[in-house]
Structure 1
Amino acid sequence: MSTNHAFPSVTVLGLGPMGRALAAAFLAAGVRTTVWNRTPGRDAELLVSGAASAATAEEAVAASELTVVCLVNYDASDAVLRRPEVEAALKGRTLVNLTADSPDRARDTGAWAAGHGIDYLDGAIMTPAPSIGGPEAVFIHSGPAALYERYAPVLAVLGGTHTHLGESIGRAAGFDIALLDIFWTAMAGYVHALALAKAEGISGRELAPFAQGIGAILPPLFAEFAEDFDSGSYSGAINPLTSGVSTMAHVVHTAEAHGIDSGVMRAAEGLTRRTIALGHGADGVSRLAEVLGRR
């Protein structure tokens, strides 16, 4: 593999599916790449592609100007990074943390990095490992703008789009958590719908095209409800809560008649009825977010 000297050297800590995909993308772009993983043996294909293997995390960090860490959560990354020998090796270098966790953990890690003389960017990967290196990949970052701009060219070889969301360290994790909230709530609704449909003699394959149609109407609603929420209008012109709660009750009744647990929908129905009781029945769905956010 020929080395592209236009890019700084990079170390990748963590060689799960995502970490291996990151390292492979750096190597494909000719970036001098060192890899390390807590469990040996996951770097074989990367070594064939030209990666250098480090025996320890501190050796790996010392090999490169830029270290990218991607582990399962911050408990795992803390166990690797917050050791005196690794902290000493990172001092004066740059760490980009693409480990998924909560905003408060990101802020805590940013404070730890600052206290040890480590330049730090936090981030998240919003697409699965096979997207890395291709146009579908989506990365979000937060931290010092000048630091992000310095390393944006080498991060860009990971493919897709990269967005710097601001200098506050926790912003990328905040976006990540909010977007995961959408994904997992939607998936919970879909698997509940599959179970309900089966109980009514409808196969998943029969339901799927209509489910995709429901999904297609959501993007414009997301934009509209966001505007309603930010402006405080909470418009119920399309579907007031008094109308929506009736259909929620129908879902709960039908599912529970088949013995299907409906805890998620019952929670949504309960929140909606509470919001109506507070005098907001003529408002739209965005009012629920305001009620949820009340202290």
Structure 2
Amino acid sequence: MITHSNKALTVLGLGDMGSALTRSWLAAGYDVTVWNRSPRTVPEAATVAATVSEAVTANRLVVVCLLDDASVRASLDGVDLTGRDIVNLTTSTPGEARALSDWIGARGGRLLDGGIMAVPSMIGVADSGAYVFYSGCEEAHETHVAALAVPAAVNYVGPDPGFAALYDMALLSAMWGMFAGATHAFALIGGEDISPMEFAPLMVAYQQAMAEYAYGTAAQLASGDYTEGVESNLAMMVSTNATLLRTAAEQGVSAELLTPFMALMDRRVAEGGGKESTTGVVDLLRQRVSAATEARGSQPG
């Protein structure tokens, strides 16, 4: 029988993140029913369901934290979702989230998709900075926001079920770019009598200062004027790139983490964007994807 209590929910998936989420709700006094695809240690005080159907039947709010989109569909396939609010915290793409919303809706449920911006050790810890992007059914969000706020702060980004995943992946993409730059920097100093421990705070401070560059990019994208407020233009940056590449060669370091972006910068200058900032590269990336999509669409089936 479905439970309508505001202090009860189901968690499907007891990996590191699913277990951390479960422990946070239990600590806050929630009744938590759990199910995992394989035998696993269960957080104390949780109620273990023998089957996924039993777990879903137990509560209106069902939180899913599995490996991928395919595992979510495989686990819920054949389960009656009528009246259930499915909160999917499984990492997915925007397209997968939108398709899953339709799939769950066709089975009588409502989807609220989420992107967790934290590691398990941050879950349920006050002031850890953990938060979760949510998007999809607004009514489901409003109904369960108090429960969802227990493990991490809630950031609802709209009714489009794909937006939480998009925000998540966009920020992760920015992170990987930062990691790539840091990796290259450490490689450059690696063969010299320079302490990486002493170098790290210099790099962190510089990266933090440079991070505000994003505000300028956002303003230029909003206005459409990519020369607005530019002090170091793209042509100047491209000329500096040659020195960066020579330095890498001198230090015996591969430049493969840098050259893809540099190639796009070169192309934008060649197309007349030398007085811009790097914002024009955003357009280049989107044009490349659009051209590839059109090319695939024009191929005979």
What is the TM-score when the length of structure 2 is the normalising length? Answer: 0.89
Higher helix share: 1
Alignment CA distance shift 1:6-1:113 (3 Å): closer
Specify which of 262, 265, 271 is matched with residue 255 of structure 2. Answer: 262
Residues in 2 aligned to 1:20 and 1:271: alpha-carbon distance in whole angstroms: 43
Partner residue of 1:164?
156
Q: Is the 8 A contact 1:97 1:123 kept in 2?
A: yes
Look up the equivalent residue of 2:61 and give its one-letter code: L
Partner residue of 2:143?
150
Partner residue of 2:240?
247
Residues in 2 aligned to 1:70 and 1:209: alpha-carbon distance in whole angstroms: 36
How many residues align structurally? 282
Residues in 2 aligned to 1:72 and 1:252: alpha-carbon distance in whole angstroms: 40
Partner residue of 2:9?
10
Which whole-Å deviations, capped at 9, do the CAs of 1:245-286 have from their partners, x for residues lacking one?
233332222223444322221111110000000000010011
Query: Following TM superposition, where does structure 1 have runs of at least 4 consecutive aligned residues deviating by more than 3 angstroms?
Result: 256-259
Matches within 5 A, 1:113-132: 113-132=104-123
Matches within 5 A, 1:87-236: 88=80, 90-134=81-125, 135=127, 136-159=129-152, 161-235=153-227
Specify which of 65, 74, 80 is matched with residue 70 of structure 1. Answer: 65
Deviation larger for 53-62 or 114-123? 53-62
Specify which of 274, 277, 281 is matched with residue 284 of structure 1. Answer: 277
Q: Is the 8 A contact 2:101 2:111 kept in 1?
A: yes
Residues in 2 aligned to 1:180 and 1:153: alpha-carbon distance in whole angstroms: 26
Alignment CA distance shift 1:204-1:51 (3 Å): same
Which whole-Å deviations, capped at 9, do the CAs of 1:43-71 have from their partners, x for residues lacking one?
1xx1x2x1101122111111111110112
Residues in 1 aligned to 2:68 and 2:192: alpha-carbon distance in whole angstroms: 40
Q: Is the 8 A contact 2:226 2:280 kept in 1?
A: yes
Structure 1: segments with no counterpart, 5+ residues? none
The 3-state SS of whatever aligns with 2:159 is: coil
The 3-state SS of whatever aligns with 2:230 is: coil
Residues in 2 aligned to 1:215 and 1:229: alpha-carbon distance in whole angstroms: 22
The 3-state SS of whatever aligns with 1:293 is: helix
Q: Is the 8 A contact 2:7 2:29 kept in 1?
A: no
Residues in 2 aligned to 1:93 and 1:222: alpha-carbon distance in whole angstroms: 40
Which whole-Å deviations, capped at 9, do the CAs of 1:52-91 have from their partners, x for residues lacking one?
011221111111111101123212222212x21x2x1x22
The 3-state SS of whatever aligns with 1:279 is: coil
Residues in 2 aligned to 1:288 and 1:199: alpha-carbon distance in whole angstroms: 33
The 3-state SS of whatever aligns with 1:71 is: coil
Which whole-Å deviations, capped at 9, do the CAs of 1:201-223 have from their partners, x for residues lacking one?
43321210110111221342211
1:174 Cα deviation after fit? 0.9
Look up the equivalent residue of 2:64 and give its one-letter code: V
Deviation larger for 137-146 or 192-201? 192-201
Look up the equivalent residue of 2:206 and give its one-letter code: I
What is the TM-score when the length of structure 1 is the normalising length? Answer: 0.90
